[in-house]
Amino acid sequence: MFQGETAITVDDKGRLAVPTAYRELVVRECDNRLVITYNPFESGCLYLYPEREWQRVRDEVNKLPSTQRAHRAMQLKLVGAATPVELDGNGRISVPASMRSAVGIEKKAVLLGMGGKFELWSEQAHHAQIRQTLTDEDLSAQMLELRL
């Protein structure tokens, strides 16, 4: 559904314009609603889910036993922080200040279409991710078999 990399500018009020190429899709397929939450696996990044996909993810995460530390951490980061947003008349969404601060998003960010969701990265964290080279130790045998 979503793919591609777009440099994004965040204004002083924490608003960012959803790229024009995605706006109609977000309006049509997502009922103009997204849910912003933390990426529980990597710092410097937020997830933006279509509302219906978010509901599926939320329910799966909430099924995990909260007595296990890793599950509880995932529930806190994903479900506890989840914030619904809607595109305004100018195709913008507002990212909460606490989230921007926590992941280091200031004026410049990068929006990545990752299939069923977006990832919103601080520009610095995204550049660091891109510069990181995977080694054979990082790649599973299954990944090595892919034709990229």
Residues 11-25 pLDDT 10s = 999 999 999 999 999
Question: Is the model more confident about 22 or about 135?
Answer: 22
Least confident of 89-93, 96-100, 111-115, 143-147: 143-147
- Give me the residue spans of the domains in the chain: 2-145
The pLDDT value recorded for residue 142 is: 62
Q: What percent of the chain lies above the pLDDT cut of 90?
A: 76
Which CATH topology does 2-145 take? Answer: Chemotaxis protein chec (3.40.1550)
Over residues 111-134, mean pLDDT:
90
User: What is the three-class DSSP state of 127?
Assistant: helix
Residue 115: pLDDT above 80?
yes
The pLDDT value recorded for residue 43 is: 87
Measured between alpha carbons, how far is residue 107 from residues 2, 27, 65, 80, 123 in Å? 23, 25, 38, 25, 9
The pLDDT value recorded for residue 139 is: 65
For residue 15, the surrounding DSSP H or E stretch is strand 15-17
Q: Are 77 and 57 in contact (CB under 8 A)?
A: no
Buried b (16+ CB within 10 A) or exposed e, 50-71: beebbeebbeebeeeeeeeeee
